[in-house]
Amino acid sequence: MKPVLTFVIPVRHPDNARDWDIIKRHLRDTARSISAQDYPGWQAVVVANHGADLPDLPAGVWVKRVDFPPNPLPHPRAYAQRMASGETVHLDKGRRLLAGMLHALELSDGAPGHFLLMDDDDFVHSGVAGFVAANPASNGWYFKEGYIWPENGTLLYRRDGFEQECGTSHIIRHDLFRLPGRVAAIDEDEVKVMGDHNRWRDYFAAAGSPLAPLPFCGAVYRVAHNESWSHSRGIWRRYFLTRAMLKNPLELTRRALRLRLKTRAMEAAYFGLPG
């Protein structure tokens, strides 16, 4: 069966990790989530450096090995450092994503369906492949809504504007990338665009191929862990315990209504766990 959806998961250089065991555990969780798709027409490509120790991965998840160097400005904490390092982060991630997409073209004889470009520590809804299969001609979708989940927490926050916060937030038809035969042939600025999910929606709209909002919550963004590139905070400090929110009880109430319990049904739909 030709894939209707190909997941592409870039994994950072080992030199950019504080704790590689965390990276491996998160990647294993992400692969489990992907493999729980309720439609069989999917494949996944994990992009990792030669020599990087990876967990056992389920059937349908392939590994593309690369020799890209580490990001020279890893884990910036101060705002100014984060802005200065953004270009290098986007270049590194873009290279890895493009290498994965090119490998997917080879695996599927040039027909990988749509791409879902995602981070190596997030989770996806089990119905995304089936949804894509029902809409094969669509340009793709952005995840207008998704869940924010602090690792090991019992609550999730349903986030509007999810595509601006999480890297696992876009499904794009493969031919819209106009991929050349090799990563090095792509202009560096284009590579940086591919490494910056905040630019994808506007980029494809400007190219005449607008993306539609996905009509359900497509992913879970894992936050508040030691290997997060964005140093993302938990949902309380991020959405509730701010000066602006404490002065606006109406908005505070509205946000409280977006909290969801991590039920067994939620675990089955997103985390690849038995329902």
**Cα distance between residue 157 and residue 154, in whole Å:** 10
**Cα distance between residue 270 and residue 23, in whole Å:** 19
DSSP symbol at 229: T
**Residue labelled with tokens 């294993």:** 28
CA atoms within 13 A on the CB side of 54: 25
What are the φ and ψ backbone dihedral angles of 146, each rounded to 5 degrees? -165, 180
**Cα distance between residue 187 and residue 238, in whole Å:** 36
Q: For 5-271, CATH number?
A: 3.90.550
pLDDT of residue 6: 98
Q: How many CB atoms lie within 10 A of CB 173?
A: 20
Q: 38 is written with which tokens?
A: 């309720």
Q: 101 is written with which tokens?
A: 């997409």
Q: pLDDT by residue (tens digit) across 158-209? A: 999 999 999 999 999 999 998 866 666 778 888 888 889 999 999 999 999 9
**Cα distance between residue 73 and residue 76, in whole Å:** 7
Render each residue's pLDDT in the chain as its tens digit; 275 residues: 889 999 999 999 999 998 999 999 999 999 999 999 999 999 999 999 999 999 999 999 999 999 999 987 655 454 444 444 567 888 999 999 999 999 999 999 989 999 999 999 999 999 999 999 999 999 999 999 999 999 989 999 999 999 999 999 999 999 999 886 666 677 888 888 888 999 999 999 999 999 999 999 999 999 975 555 444 567 766 776 667 666 777 877 787 888 999 999 999 999 999 86
pLDDT of residue 230: 47
* Total-model pTM: 0.90
Domain boundaries, the chain: 5-271
Residue environment code for 187-221, b if the CB has 16+ CB neighbours within 10 A, otherwise e: eeeebbbbbbbeebbebbeeeeeebeebeebbbbb
